[in-house]
Amino acid sequence: MAFSELLQHVGDCGRFQILNIVLCVLVNLLTPSNELIENFSAAIPAHRCYVQLIDNSTFKASIAMNLSAEALLRVSIPMDPNQKPEQCRRFRQTHWELLDANVSVMSDAKLETETCLDGWVYDQSVFTSSIITEWDLVCDLKSLKLIVQSIFMTGFLVGVLLCGVLSDSWISESVPWLILTGKTEQALKELRRIAFINGKKDVAQSLTAETGGRFSTFLGNYGLLLDVQNLGMDMFLTQFLLGAVDLPNKCLTFYILRRIKRRPSLALFLLLSGSILIASVFVSKEMPILRLIIFLLGKSSFSTFNMIILAFINELSPTPLRTTLTGIYGSVTRLAAALSALVLLTRRYFVHLPMILYGFAPIIALICIYILPETFNLPLPDTIMDLEKRFMKKGTRKEKAKISWKRLAAKETQYAHRMEELGITSHNAK
């Protein structure tokens, strides 16, 4: 009896599994809020240079008490190409002549300007405060926001690596790992506990010792999530929609996992993700609704890919390596998140360069998908030898098909012996 068959015997979809899923969901509810909090805590509100004439009430009352705020702004702050006040420069001198429609004056670009020597004034209609306004991370210091985001995501990467080391104490609850490490009685105890929770008390009582399984793509995904403010719409609504779109994604993914092969489905969503991001380059910011729709489609594609690749990784990983490979995958994901913030720095060279890089990354990753074997409707590999045999093809020399994992040979042999002690054999050994 293979381990997967033994698991079906004690219950592979009962109260025990449902309880584990619920606990995982509760823990994961806390993750997105921490990952995406900087969309709000580091939001960049509209801002301009501080000007005595406008922002010093005493100075304003004594000099220009009869002029509107718009008029004072016009003579103090130059206009950008979109005819909006510059955010990082002000006139060196007050140009009253700009208010006289009958006087011909040179363009704002030819008038002397200077940087915001006295600081900035921020729009507080949406965000009363953020780390941007507290530390003036605008203009020449604007790139520091992206570096802070990258450092923040690097913290997740460090956490994943540390948890990988600490998880050794948790692995003791894994029945295959207990078998591998020689703890046969404890493995039997865990199987009985699973059967009991799943309501199969007769099985629990009868079990005896004889019967006793993500870099280029997430670069674009996190690039989207960390740049919500650039969509040009209400940030709160946008963030809500980016989260709400995951609900239909889960239903779609459930159907795909049961009906469609892994490699074609992964390739499809990689191609969709990259193509959608590249297409967003050609949509003007003056069309915020269309940009939002495109970004929602991109987020949906990334989310679906993420869920399929998680299943694919577990189906590819033999039991002794499953936890390790999942940890490596998580580390790569966090590395992509950290780098995605740095990629946004390339916007200073070409405004569309980040989206181009985000778009081409998943398309290039298509090559990697077809190097891996198909796992649809195949049992989870119990041993490394099971995985080796899956890679081997008819007419191929055995020497070319061998995988040089010498360090794991001893564990492989030990695992096989422990499986035999419980009367369990792998599918390929039948």
User: How many CB atoms neighbour CB 420 within 10 A?
Assistant: 11
Residue 396 is predicted with a pLDDT of 45
Average pLDDT over residues 131-140: 91
Residue 48 is predicted with a pLDDT of 92
Residue pLDDT, tens place only, 276-319: 889 988 888 888 888 888 888 888 888 888 888 888 888 887 77
Residue 63 is predicted with a pLDDT of 63
Tell me the residue type at 31.
T
Residue 268 has pLDDT above 90, yes or no: yes
Residue 232 is predicted with a pLDDT of 66
Under DSSP, is residue 79 helix (H, G, I), strand (E, B) or coil? strand
Residue 184 has pLDDT above 70, yes or no: no
Residue pLDDT, tens place only, 96-105: 888 776 655 5
Residue count (the chain): 430
Nearest to 146 by CA among 298, 345, 321, 318: 345
Residue 41 has pLDDT above 80, yes or no: yes
Identify the residue whose tokens are 């450092």.
151
Q: Rounded CA gap, 305 and 366, in Å?
A: 12
List Cα–Cα distances, 220 to 5, 18, 360, in angstroms: 39, 32, 9
Q: Rounded CA gap, 70 and 87, in Å?
A: 15
Report for 98-112, 227-241, 347-361, 406-420: range of highest mean pLDDT: 347-361
- Parallel/antiparallel/unpaired status of strands 113-115 and 89-91: antiparallel
Q: What does pTM read for this prediction?
A: 0.63
> Going from the N-terminus, what domains does the chain have, and what CATH number goes with each?
3-42+146-369 (1.20.1250), 47-122 (no CATH)
CB of 207 closer than 8 Å to CB of 188: yes
Backbone angles phi, psi at 425, to 5 degrees: -125, 155
- In this predicted structure, which of 136-140, 410-414, 426-430 has the lowest mean pLDDT? 426-430
Average pLDDT over residues 332-356: 83
Residue 204 has pLDDT above 50, yes or no: no
Identify the residue whose tokens are 């990259």.
274
Average pLDDT over residues 32-43: 81
Nearest to 387 by CA among 368, 420, 415: 415
Q: Rounded CA gap, 75 and 90, in Å?
A: 9
List Cα–Cα distances, 55 to 68, 69, 124, 177, in angstroms: 13, 10, 15, 68
Q: Rounded CA gap, 314 and 172, in Å?
A: 18
Nearest to 362 by CA among 308, 312, 302: 302
Mean pLDDT of the chain: 75
CB of 315 closer than 8 Å to CB of 378: yes
Residue 236 has pLDDT above 90, yes or no: no
- In this predicted structure, which of 39-53, 176-190, 198-212 has the lowest mean pLDDT? 198-212
- Parallel/antiparallel/unpaired status of strands 120-122 and 89-91: unpaired
The CB-side HSE value for 280 (13 A sphere, CA atoms) comes to 32
Residue 265 is predicted with a pLDDT of 92
Q: Rounded CA gap, 10 and 194, in Å?
A: 7
- With the C-alpha atoms ordered 57, 62, 63, 67, is the resulting torsion angle positive or negative? positive
Identify the residue whose tokens are 């499986």.
419
Tell me the residue type at 63.
I
Average pLDDT over residues 12-22: 76
Residue 209 has pLDDT above 60, yes or no: no
Residue 75 has pLDDT above 80, yes or no: yes
Q: What is the DSSP letter of 85?
A: B
> Percentage of residues in the chain with pLDDT exceeding 70?
68
Report for 3-7, 324-328, 345-349: range of highest mean pLDDT: 345-349
Residue 6 is predicted with a pLDDT of 60
Q: Rounded CA gap, 113 and 135, in Å?
A: 23
Residue 28 is predicted with a pLDDT of 75
Nearest to 28 by CA among 330, 338, 380: 330
CB of 318 closer than 8 Å to CB of 384: yes
> Percentage of residues in the chain with pLDDT exceeding 90?
8
Structure tokens at 362: 């998943």
Q: Rounded CA gap, 392 and 395, in Å?
A: 9
Q: What is the DSSP letter of 376?
A: T
Average pLDDT over residues 113-136: 90
Residue pLDDT, tens place only, 382-421: 777 777 776 665 334 444 434 444 555 555 566 566 656 6
Average pLDDT over residues 88-113: 77
